[in-house]
Structure 1
């Protein structure tokens, strides 16, 4: 039961975060006419704030001492605000749609959303080693969490175009926020904290140790490049379907479905290759395969060829 409660939190986080990250650009640039230059500027500020506030809120959470524990107060406040700001990003009233107001509404909205997203993600992640102590228990919890995460990916990325094509982006946000709220409602009562688990390092010392670790820079750089490529594909797919392929908005679902339907069984393929070639070589091969497959997206002119290329991308996804 504890594992299921924790995994339900992952579902709520993934559903909201992936629908936000994948379709934010399409909504503001395509539907509302926001300047692409201002969108890029605001997202750059967003990224820098994200880089700063992750360790900041992690440090503050570690130092929190209340009768409710350390993580629970942050989550009780953070989850409702996280969902509220998610809704506000997709609920743009008429007075905020003018060219003079929209850029500022967008910038303030995404910064507020990102702040609460960090609060919730940071405290949710910090609970994992406190709630699950043994290796076998952690393995089981991680597998279940990965399952709900994949379900969140499918709903928040692949199913979303079918939803907003029928009920609009605000309708999509209301539906996903409601589903996420139910998931969090199941997760929060199951929180179990270890009062003895407390970091002895200060914020400055933690930064010093991390930044002095060469392995951190290698992994961070590779992760950055991979996430950049993945984000470009995810964010650009709705534009690609509409402008390159001339398809209706709902057709984006079929492109993402091809990716995920192939990605799921491909996990077993890469698991076998990791056993035969070693984890590092298999990891590199997966990145290379996905990158080469993504280049083929330039070729299709209709839905079926694009679905086939999407399936190839899914092998390395």
Structure 2
């Protein structure tokens, strides 16, 4: 149904009640983020280092490909979300895409980090190989996350269980980051392969190739375990399928799209820059290798895990909106100390500052988005979490353009091209890249967040308007369906 189609008060009694659905446990759903995070963190955290510093691709060319990567990443998101929202199968709306996407991601990621010698020897072939498998990996990741993220508000309509599931998700993501970010340098350079600085290292890329296979199989296994344990809401099958252009129009005219969406894009761009450049920061600014990069990254992630429980407690006490608006400026200021670090110890201390702000935004972002999805479904009487999240993802995933611009600026302003031609002062180059750029992006996000009023189930002006604004009655049936599913879940 749509918001403009009146529904008789007794219409929902005429249809047969859906069979009771056993609840999906917050743990079974939340652990899926461990699987979704391992592949993409390996890709985002090592792709720049692998192709530019190890294989010698020009940084400006890498930036150009990454810009295309970012544009396609933004375009395919709403398409995947739209298809998912309209899908009706015996296995549910989201599960088929999770299964297919994970298998495609596995193959593309392994190929991305397994460059044949003949390809690596040709600059043109290397760029083509990188472009094909980086973009294919991105599309598979988009397909997975468009469906995985859309499940959160559907599976857990009650705020308490939703917060629990999100807590499990974020904890699982941080554990995955320890493996795919923190341990990758030492595993790839010291355990499974060798370092580029070692005198007897014939192929410094082999460790990353082996790690891509291990992390790919592990991540996909966890995604499949989660997907086959998810039980979607069968009541949604009777809903009218959301139209594409009407949905896009309603979404882009929604004020939250241009406020919360841009704030999330600033945050996502800042973290993407950090993931791309941390190994290079350690090499050129700190003069370290795989061990030092691992120590720094593990320290940051462990610090974030430790702070996550405190931020979650703050959310329960003061609400997601207030905590979100507090965490953003803390996250911005936290990037200042990393600029002045000149040793592993001072970098770790600066990294712990970053962990404080990072975990605060991590603990609140998805809760803020879920509230926006609730508000949309209540107003328009249709579940379209996939396309709505994906439309927001257009802004967030355009961070590829911002990262590409940041990378290109390293060549323009600092002369950095690759590992063979790092410019006159690569130490300062990556101080700026890892500190100044994220600070400015988060400062912009903080400023915009001051103008945001987040909708909620109760206690806000937006929530008091339970009837459809067009008078169509779409909100009523939506609320009844949610309450029915909530009862099934025992919430």
Tell whether 2:110 aligns with 1:87: yes
- Aligned partner of 1:105 in structure 2 is 129
Out of 119, 132, 149, the position equivalent to 1:125 is 149
- Aligned partner of 1:221 in structure 2 is 262
Q: Is the 8 A contact 1:57 1:119 kept in 2?
A: yes
Cα 1:313–1:204 shift into 2, 3 Å: same
Cα 1:314–1:138 shift into 2, 3 Å: closer
- Aligned partner of 2:228 in structure 1 is 189
Q: Distance in 2 between matches of 1:147 and 1:277?
A: 21
Residues 119-178 of structure 1: per-residue CA shift (max 9 Å, x gap):
111222233344334444333322222221221122221122221112110111111112
Q: Distance in 2 between matches of 1:179 and 1:276?
A: 37
Q: Distance in 1 between matches of 2:181 and 2:55?
A: 20
Structure 1 spans left out of the alignment, 5+ residues: none
Residues 242-301 of structure 1: per-residue CA shift (max 9 Å, x gap):
011111122111111221222223235445666888755543443323322312222222
- Aligned partner of 1:27 in structure 2 is 50
Out of 184, 188, 206, the position equivalent to 1:164 is 188
Q: Is the 8 A contact 2:167 2:312 kept in 1?
A: no
Tell whether 2:236 aligns with 1:212: no
Q: Is the 8 A contact 2:171 2:305 kept in 1?
A: no
Q: Distance in 1 between matches of 2:211 and 2:297?
A: 17
- Aligned partner of 1:175 in structure 2 is 214
- Aligned partner of 2:299 in structure 1 is 258
Q: Secondary structure at the match of 1:138?
A: helix
- Aligned partner of 2:178 in structure 1 is 154
Q: Is the 8 A contact 1:62 1:199 kept in 2?
A: no
Cα 1:273–1:115 shift into 2, 3 Å: closer
Q: Is the 8 A contact 2:36 2:220 kept in 1?
A: no
Cα 1:112–1:265 shift into 2, 3 Å: same
- Aligned partner of 1:313 in structure 2 is 354
Out of 266, 279, 285, the position equivalent to 1:244 is 285
Cα 1:283–1:65 shift into 2, 3 Å: closer
Instruction: Look at both structures and tell me which one has the larger radius of gyration over its CA atoms.
Output: 2
Output aligned runs, 1:49-88, within 5 Å. Answer: 49-88=72-111
Which has the higher mean CA deviation after the structures are superposed, 48-57 or 297-306?
297-306
Cα 1:134–1:199 shift into 2, 3 Å: farther
Q: Is the 8 A contact 1:158 1:252 kept in 2?
A: yes
Q: Distance in 1 between matches of 2:227 and 2:309?
A: 32
Output aligned runs, 1:265-276, within 5 Å. Answer: 265-270=306-311
- Aligned partner of 1:235 in structure 2 is 276
Out of 8, 14, 17, the position equivalent to 2:40 is 17
Question: TM-score, normalized by length of structure 1?
Answer: 0.91
Q: Distance in 2 between matches of 1:274 and 1:192?
A: 28
- Aligned partner of 1:39 in structure 2 is 62
**Matched residue pairs, number?**
317
Q: Distance in 2 between matches of 1:20 and 1:294?
A: 23
Q: Is the 8 A contact 2:99 2:224 kept in 1?
A: no
Residues 25-56 of structure 1: per-residue CA shift (max 9 Å, x gap):
11111111111111111111111111111111
Q: Distance in 2 between matches of 1:192 and 1:270?
A: 29
Cα 1:2–1:86 shift into 2, 3 Å: same
> What is the RMSD computed on CA atoms of the aligned residues?
2.3
Structure 2 spans left out of the alignment, 5+ residues: 1-23, 193-206, 359-491
Q: Is the 8 A contact 2:85 2:242 kept in 1?
A: no
Q: Is the 8 A contact 1:8 1:186 kept in 2?
A: no
Q: Distance in 2 between matches of 1:173 and 1:262?
A: 26
Q: Is the 8 A contact 1:82 1:113 kept in 2?
A: yes
